[in-house]
A and B are shown apart, each in its own frame.
Chain A
Amino acid sequence: MSTFDTLRIAGSGLYANRKWMDAVSDNLANLNTATATDESAFQERMIVVEADDYGSGEGGVRVAGTQFGNAEGRLVYEPDNALADADGYVRYPDIDMGDQMTRLIMAQRSYQANLSSIERATNAYQAALQLGKG
Chain B
Amino acid sequence: MSEQQPDSKLSDRLVFARKASGLIRELTPLDVVIWAVGAPAVTGFLYFAPRSMYLYGLWGIIGAYVLSLLLLLPVAVTMALAVAAMPRAGGPFPMMSRIFSPSITFLVGWIRLFGFGFVDGIISCVGVVLFASTSVFYGTLTSNKAIIDFGSALLAPTGIFIGGLIFIAVQWALTLFSMRIIKWLERALFLIPLVILALMLAFMFGYGANYPTAFNSVYGAGVAESIIAKASQLGFTQPSFSIDKMLLALNVGIFAFGGFETILMAGGEVKSPRRSLFYGLIGGLFCVLVLFIISALAVGSMGDFPNSYSYLYYVHNDVLRQIIKPGEASIPFFAASAMPVWLAIVIPPFAVLWIIKSLLPYFIGNSRLVFSLAMDRTLPAQFANVNKYGSPTWATHLQALLAIAGVVVFTQGVTMILAITTASALMYYFIFGLAIMVFPYVRKDIFEKSTIQWRFAGVPVMSVLGLLTTIVGFFIFTYSLTLVNVGAVTALCLLLAIGLVIHMYQLKKNEKQGVSLADVYSQMPPE
Q: Are both chains from one complex?
A: no
